Amino acid sequence: MNRAGSMGVRVVCWFSCGAASAVATKLTLARFGPDAVEVAYTDPGSEHPDNERFIRDCEAWFGKPVTRLRSDTYKDTWDVWERRGVMRTHHGGSPCTGELKRAVRLAFQRPDDIQVFGYTVEERERAAGFRRQNFEIDLRTPLIDAGLTKDDTIAMVERAGIAIPAMYLLGYRNNNCLGCPKGGMGYWNKIRKDFPDIFARAADMERKIGNSIFNEGGKPLYLDELDPSRGRHDEPSFECSLMCHIAEADIADAA
């Protein structure tokens, strides 16, 4: 018997305003039914404003509202960076992820939840790492199970009649916050071009807190020192594979 059929057990889909999490949610709704599923979004407060439009479109596709969750401690990523004095750690992480995403998720989740994440087939190792570090969580990865790539999910969302989030249309591979410290040099030079105010604000923040996103040769490399020609940022493709069509058939069968 599936645990989701037991009284009190929730299936929580963690929706992140990305194509992958949207398709993972749609597949989960098709499998478990809308009454068993809660769609939750941890809002960091610093994403592209088009994400609100994408949420509304996805809510119509899901036939179910998205529960919006926010930190009670921090307003947005900028607030975290300034108060914590760090934008990116030596290990490549950022405190905003922990404070605005992980802490909010932990406060919302229940011990017996079935939790669904939008890991794609390219992220098998990430999913395996999450399972190792969070062995107490009943994790489900419907995109990996269905053999779906990130490009598959983008194409599926478009074919559902939903305009993909603006960050994808601008050529970004992920729909992260505007100005993500985890991005590379090419990413930040693209931010410099597409969102000059965000780039300037991040450069000022680095200097203000004395913490640079990049280090080179053991020395800090601040954004206002970054050569505009450094790095690369590839455009996404939108080709859909056979697995994409199979997953859409599963969704249609459940409708």
Which domains, and CATH codes, for the chain?
3-166+243-254 (3.40.50.620)
* pLDDT at residue 245 is higher than 50: no
Whole-number pLDDT of residue 110: 94
How many Å apart are CA 121 and CA 156, to the nearest integer?
A: 15
Q: What average pLDDT does range 179-194 have in this prediction? A: 94
Which of 102, 109, 103, 104 is CA-nearest to residue 13? 109
Which of 119, 129, 130, 116 is CA-nearest to residue 19? 119
Whole-number pLDDT of residue 238: 36
Q: What average pLDDT does range 23-39 have in this prediction? A: 96
Alpha-carbon distance values, 79 to 36, 142, 196, 202, 207 (Å): 35, 34, 20, 12, 15
Which of 47, 54, 65, 14 is CA-nearest to residue 162? 54
Tens of pLDDT, residues 96-134: 999 999 999 999 999 999 999 999 999 999 899 989 999
Tens of pLDDT, residues 199-212: 999 999 999 999 99
Do the beta carbons of residue 181 and residue 211 sit within 8 Å? no
Using alpha carbons only, give the angle 173, 179, 184 rounded to the nearest 5 degrees. 60
* pLDDT at residue 1 is higher than 90: no
Radius of gyration of the chain measured on its C-alpha atoms: 19
Q: What average pLDDT does range 219-244 have in this prediction? A: 71
Mean pLDDT of the chain: 89
Do the beta carbons of residue 62 and residue 39 sit within 8 Å? yes
Q: At what angle do helices 19-32 and 150-159 cross, to 10 degrees?
A: 70
Amino acid at 239: E
Using alpha carbons only, give the angle 65, 66, 72 rounded to the nearest 5 degrees. 135
